[in-house]
Amino acid sequence: MLIGQYGEKRRIPVTVAEIPHPQIQAFLAAEDERFYSHPGVDYKGLLRAANQLMITGKKTQGGSTITMQVARNFLLSKEKTFLRKLKEILLAIQIEQRYSKDQILELYLNKIYMGQRAYGLAAAAQTYYGRNLDDLKLHQQAMIAGLPKAPSVYNPIVNAERALERRNYVLRRMLALNFIQPAEYQQAINTPDDAATQPSNIEFNAPFIAEMARQEIVDRYGDEAYTLGLKVHTTVPSRLQLASDRAVQSALHDYDDRHGYRGLPHKKFRPGSTLHKLKALGDCRQAVVTSLSPTGIMTTVSDGSSMLIPWDHIPWKPLQIHSTNAQATLSATIKPNDTVWIRQLPDQSWTLSQIPAAEGALAAVNPYNGAILAITGSYDFYLSKFNRATQSKRQPGSGFKPFIYTAALEKGFTPASIINDAPIVIEDPSLENDWRPENYTRKFLGPTALRKALRQSINLVSIRLLQDVGIPNALETAMRFGFSREQLPATLSLALGSGYAPPLKMAAAYAVFANGGYLVTPYLIERIEDHTGATLFKANPKTVCKECLAGIQSEANPAPRVISVQTHFLMNSLLRDVVERGTATLAKQLQRTDLAGKTGTTNDQRDAWFNGFTPEIAASAWIGFDNSHPLGRGETGGKVALPMWIEFMKTALENVPEKPLTVPEGIVQAYINPSDGLLLDPSDKNGLWEYFTTETAPQRYSQPKQPEFEFDEEWLKETLF
């Protein structure tokens, strides 16, 4: 599907065989009726033009043949001198000796300038009439054939009267040469011209993807990118891109609806104004209020259709619009001719709406080769072209914790390792006061296993874990996942995700957890073709070799392994637990067992994330304000961003079979006491099964808990007295 077009020239190459014969005849009648009989130069035409020049002193007739025009357009300058004309004649004769008439005509019909940035016949047909060559009528064919003589003068869009005169001249020439019959001529000459500025023929609206591709092509080819006639194929399926856009818009509206109506745009619609000026942004449309009634608000949209907004489709609670009666408040606020925003709900009904104040982004990648599957950089590209999915620098918050846990597992910690969840004070000379980090709940659990700590996203455990692992080790681990050193602070705040990253970087990092432990690099352009269809570039990304994993040799470009098979398995187990029993249980509505990920919420809820994956796709969703204004108490990653991820995954995982987590060699299970991580007899109902590497599996049994001493006052009296 076509998602964007850029360039100084619009050209659609065609062969002579693809051009309808009447269209060729129209050009011959207008430009060179003896084309198929002269040797490249029409001497009769030249003599006639010279004679007119001598009589009148003006150049009233041209003597150039189609072949001479090819010579001039390809090989000569635009200067108007007798020397250049002589060169043109000599070159035309040589061209005729080396190329067939059809080859020369094909060059001409694809090269000639037709106005409106259109070069060539097929581009002109699309530019002026929005049609393919086979669909043009005779009067349209004649209009296009008349353009090469003077495209600016005979342009039917900007100079309709002169263009019509030229078209009718071409039709008269076609009749005189017996190319058309009198009846055809009469019908065409009486037909009004219908050339018009054509709407964009973009087949699928994906402006963020198109702009990313444009930037990459310009970086590769420079300014020539706009003139080479390149065709660029991206990695993004339209189905997933559409799902991504919908998911971002839906999540932003859900958040926005919870925070009240901000009021009318304060723009009255003037009676008599044209409705087509009403805007559309994201999934919202502007509408004009025509009346209010007991049933709701009647509106009219840009195409003249009427839409009823029932009172029970107002998404804001009465309290949020500062009244106990929503209908009364809105009736007093909204008047006929007011402009409002409306949007269509999944059940096809309409609701009053508004453009969200917060922003969101989503990025998804194929974890096996890094192919970008979806990018949505804002609520609407035409509202904000800043691509938050690739360009933003937002704190990942708790979404960064899995990389700290990975470093810990590599240093000998296990999912059952116990870390104390208790208050901590960090002295920092650079700060005015000591740092006293807190858990989101402001409660403390005491000694806590790593599995539970990650599942519940306990901040203080992550900080103590980073202290034990060491900041240099954690930084080295994170950089293996694709983070740059500049993104990562060398302080204990790293444990809480105080660095920065855009969603695409987070999706790529989580792809390591999805694909078996390999680093892949996101890429967008799959293939580049020139104007003939020849391949100039084909992506060769570093790929996770599934055949190699199965022990089969492959010539694939292998992605580097960055974590071991055993560490990968343990992290998958931990991150699947986040969905199964932790902060992301909302995702269980997808009814799959292979979902994994981590919520992320930063201080004061300034950023809300969910970074998640299955074995076939990794995606990161983010919501926040551009000015880092807090989202509000309770607006966590699990509440704000996770619904966006779920909505996208509903489409992304359609017909994708579940993939169970297979236990690799080097991993064992042990029945343990969750209080200390040591072995328990399986008959003890207070234990649980946990995974370990063979090197870190517990060897000692947990000691029974000693009963606490109970003070017996009566026994003491009898003993002492």
Q: What is the rounded distance in angstroms from the CA atom of residue 493 to the CA atom of residue 630?
A: 19
Look at the block and give the residue holding tokens 């003068």: 153
Question: CA 358 from chain center: how many Å?
Answer: 18
Using CB atoms within 10 Å of the CB of residue 671, give its burial: 0 to 12 exposed, 13 to 18 middle, 19+ buried. Answer: middle
Structure tokens at 226: 């706009």
List the structure tokens of 295. Answer: 């049933």
Of the listed 398, 462, 620, 702, which one is catalytic? 398
Instruction: Report residue 177 as tokens.
Output: 């040469």
H helical segments located in 347-495 = 401-410, 450-455, 459-469, 471-480
Contact 481, 519 (CB under 8 A): yes
Contact (CB, 8 A) for 521 and 370: yes
To the query of whether residue 398 is one of the catalytic residues in this protein, the response is yes
C-alpha angle 116-118-121 in degrees, rounded to nearest 5: 130
Strand-pair partners of 297: 292, 309
Catalytic residue among 31, 33, 211, 647: 31
CA proximity to 250, closest of 364, 356, 399: 356
Alpha helices in 439-564 (DSSP H): 450-455, 459-469, 471-480, 503-515, 546-549
Q: How far apart are CA 172 and CA 165, in angstroms?
A: 11
What is the spatial distance between Cα 495 and Cα 356, in angstroms, rounded to a whole number?
31
Q: How many CB atoms lie within 10 A of CB 228?
A: 15
The token pair that represents 240 in the structure block: 């997933």
The position carrying tokens 């005729």 is 96
Question: Which tokens hold the place of 524?
Answer: 């967008």
- Beta strand pairing call for 10-11 and 118-119: parallel
The closest of 217, 500, 543, 538 to 365, measured between CA atoms, is 543
Q: Which helix (H) or strand (E) holds 229?
A: none
What Å distances lie between residue 477 and 9, 401, 599, CA to CA? 49, 12, 20
C-alpha distances (whole Å) from 404 to each of 481, 496, 535 are 11, 9, 44
The DSSP H or E segment spanning 308 is strand 306-310
Q: What is the C-alpha separation between 494 and 488, in angstroms, rounded?
A: 7
Tokens of 136: 């043009």
Which residues belong to the active site? 31, 398
